[in-house]
Amino acid sequence: MKTLLFIGACVISLGTFAQTDSKQAAPKEVKAVKNPVEFKTMVIERNAIPYDSKEPFVFEFKNTGSEPVMITNVATSCGCTKAEQPTEPVLKKQSSRIVVNYDTKRVGNFTKTITVTTNVSADPIILTIKGTVLPNPDAATPAAPVPAATESH
């Protein structure tokens, strides 16, 4: 009998909690905050880069916000990539750039990321460079082995 009363109480409880209030407040829309740092491009891709080329990847950006933007940090994904960041604040409606150099003595395909942090957004900005570095044209091709001379006595 106790079991029957317990099961009945559980069913009544579930029925009570399952009812919903039809006058619940509508969920508030979360408004996306636009990052005031707008880059012209987020990815730069180059193919057939000459070996030991010194041509940098240049990411241009504009401050579209209402307060000065300071690039607080620029981190590259590996030691083969170096980045130069602006040292002065970028004022409202002004532009600047981040210059990235890749070690083009590393032959073959590559994809590297550059993580940019600013004073105006908690979210980092991820830039990407991609490309293919050609082999060194000056590298001597290995000669075929010469057979050892044999002496006859």
Smallest Cα–Cα separation from 114: which of 64, 151, 71, 67? 71
Share of the chain above pLDDT 90, in %: 66
Q: What pLDDT score was predicted for residue 111? A: 97
Q: What pLDDT score was predicted for residue 139? A: 77
Q: What pLDDT score was predicted for residue 34? A: 76
Q: What pLDDT score was predicted for residue 71? A: 97
DSSP state of 42: S
Q: What pLDDT score was predicted for residue 67? A: 94
pLDDT tens digit sequence for 33-89: 678 999 999 999 999 999 999 999 999 999 999 999 999 999 999 999 999 999 999
Does the structure show a pLDDT above 90 at 108? yes
Q: Is CATH 3.40.640.10 what the domain over 37-133 is classified as, yes or no?
A: no
Strand 37-39 relative to strand 71-76, pairing? unpaired
Top pLDDT among 23 and 139 is at 139
Q: Which residues contact 92 (CB under 8 A, 6 or more apart)?
A: 63, 65, 66, 67, 68
Does the structure show a pLDDT above 80 at 120? yes
